[in-house]
Amino acid sequence: MVIPELDVLLAYIEATHERYQSFLKSFTEADLDSPVSASEPLMTIGAALRHGITHKNNHHGQIDYIRGLQEEEWDLPRGTGVVLQYRSA
């Protein structure tokens, strides 16, 4: 398995972030109860967003746990409980 260079990964993260921001701005609060698609009428936009946030937080906790097993003194900086903001090169 080849791991892409850091600049490629950062460009991907930045592009994904911009696309997600555009997506969030594309609908209103009233749209949150709308289905994501006709094939999934019970999955609303609001439910999909809630699922995405919960899913991300679950993985964040798993990563924190593994990092703690690898480095006994590892911890997030004080005042943070989320992924730290990145800076593009």
How do residues 4-38 score in pLDDT, each as one tens digit?
999 999 999 999 999 989 988 998 999 999 998 99
The distance from CA 15 to its chain's CA centroid, rounded to whole angstroms, is 13
The two tokens of residue 12 are 């991907």
Q: Looking at the chain, how many residues does it have?
A: 89
Q: According to the model, what pLDDT value does residue 59 have?
A: 82
How do residues 29-81 score in pLDDT, each as one tens digit?
999 999 989 998 889 999 988 888 888 888 888 887 887 778 777 666 665 55
